[in-house]
Amino acid sequence: MAYTAADVKALREKSGAGMMDCKKALEETNGDMEAAVDFLRAKGLAAAAKKSSRTAAEGLVGVAVEGTKGVAVEVNSETDFVAKNEQFQDFVRTATQVALGVDGDDVETLKAASYPGASTVGDKLTDNVATIGENQQIRRVKSVAVSEGVVVPYMHNAAAPNLGKIGVLVALESSAPTEKLEELGRQLAMHIAAAFPQALTAEGLDADVIERERAVAREKAAESGKPENVQEKMVEGAVAKYAKENALLSQIFVMDNKTPIQQVVDQAGKDAGAKIVLKDYVRFQLGEGIVKEESDFAAEVAAAVGG
């Protein structure tokens, strides 16, 4: 057996499928979790999996805006206790401000930048690890900018001003009045926090993800027993639906549940008397994409005592 009971449990939580279906999926895929999810989806036993909204790492996301540039920074810690520490919060806030003056989105470049009261951001991070007594890492940095217009920051369920677990930036390029752009930007940011777009446009979606969707759709279509030409239309229809639902500009606005985001932006431009372009966005969710291994706390304590 190439899987464990814990794998079955994890697959059930991830897919919503029944235990026996999960066991069969893991048997068929030799314990490969992602392949097992696709197996269940192809059998119609699991829905398309969006990126999990369950965070698997602690720490904070910081956002900051200056002029027509904005930046988001994620800093991870080992426990939520440290995320509530004022020293840690001050570091994330300050490092995010420093990132505004850094070219590019490279973590090492940010760590090499000057930090107030210390030689570099990296040195301050090392000092924090030593004084707080817990590992901390700058995980990622992303900036957006416009030549004219606004970059609107938004923090969902903020732990402190501009600090929290889901940080969003919306870059709107336009000559429209700032207050109109900021109002639109905040609405769009709330949509982005809730709807989890994977790219600005369908063309920007990850090619590997699209191919994975196509493979699942092809297997589903094959099981339908319909003619080959009909199957191909089913596959392309499924892929087009996925792209529409995951590209920001084609998503349906969560505030009215009927209007595509592109139309929301276009209408806002007409109302403001100037064209508005949603140029870019950032959505950082703490721990996104990180898989934390679950451990048996009692076993850990027993092992520590025995050791």
Question: What digits encode the pLDDT tens for the residues 119-164?
Answer: 999 999 999 999 998 889 999 999 999 999 999 999 998 999 999 9
pLDDT at residue 65 in the model: 98
Question: What letter represents residue 303's amino acid?
Answer: A
Task: Provide the residue type at 216 as one letter.
Answer: V
Q: Residue type at 32?
A: D
74 CA to centre of own chain? 11
What sign results for the dihedral spanned by CA atoms 116, 118, 124, 127? Answer: negative
* pLDDT, average across residues 53-72: 85
Looking at this protein, which amino acid is placed at residue 263? Q
Stretch (H or E) spanning 146: none
CB 233 within 8 A of CB 240: no
Annotate 183-202 with b (16+ C-beta within 10 A) or e (fewer): ebbebbbbbbbebbbbbbeb
Separation of alpha carbons 219 and 238, rounded Å: 12
Q: Domains in the chain, start-ordered, CATH in brackets?
A: 1-49 (1.10.8.10), 58-199+269-285 (3.30.479.20)
Span 256-283, mean pLDDT? 97
End-to-end distance of the chain based on CA atoms, in angstroms? 30
Element at 258 (helix H, strand E): none
- Do 234 and 221 touch, CB atoms closer than 8 A? yes
C-alpha to C-alpha distance for 170 and 197, rounded to whole angstroms:
13
The amino acid occupying position 174 is: S
Residue that has been written with the tokens 């140029």 in this structure: 279
Angle between helices 261-272 and 178-195 (to 10 degrees): 170
Tokens of residue 217, six digits: 């759709």
SS3 54: coil
Res 15: pLDDT: 79
> Buried b / exposed e across 38-60, counting CB within 10 Å, b at 16+?
bbbbbbebbeeeeeeeebebbbb
> For position 249, what pLDDT does the model report?
98
Tens of pLDDT, residue by residue over 200-220, are 999 999 999 899 888 888 888
pLDDT at residue 35 in the model: 87
pTM of the model: 0.78
Predicted local confidence at residue 13, as pLDDT? 79
Decide if pLDDT at 66 tops 50: yes
Q: Which two tokens stand for residue 123?
A: 């040195």
